[in-house]
Amino acid sequence: MSCGVWADRPGLRTACLGGYGRGLSCEELHALKGMAALDAVSCLVWGPAHTDPEVAARGRRTLDRLMAGLFA
């Protein structure tokens, strides 16, 4: 969700995590960054191979967000 719907609607992240009663731990944030990087690579490989520009754009957006520190 962090690479998809939460990117466009950050209030959903707040609401989802609020349901658990806490934010993400340092370990969870570290794992989230790694999983986001894997998602980006997957999208950047799959999108062009299947002529799906929306998936490729998601990969580029996720990389941009990682570089900007938005998963911190």
Supply the pLDDT for residue 70. 86
The residue written with tokens 């340092």 in the block is 26
> Confidence class of residue 72 from pLDDT cuts 50, 70 and 90?
low
Domain ranges of the chain: 24-72
DSSP the chain: -TTTHHHH-HHHHHHHHHHHTS---HHHHHHHHHHHHHHHHHHHHHHHHTT-HHHHHHHHHHHHHHHTTTT-
Q: What is the pLDDT of residue 10?
A: 84
Question: Which residue type is seen at 58?
Answer: R
Instruction: Write the pLDDT tens digit of every residue in 1-40.
Output: 889 888 889 899 889 888 988 888 999 999 999 999 999 9
pLDDT for position 23: 86
pLDDT in tens, 56-70: 999 999 999 999 998
C-beta separation of 19 from 13 below 8 A: no
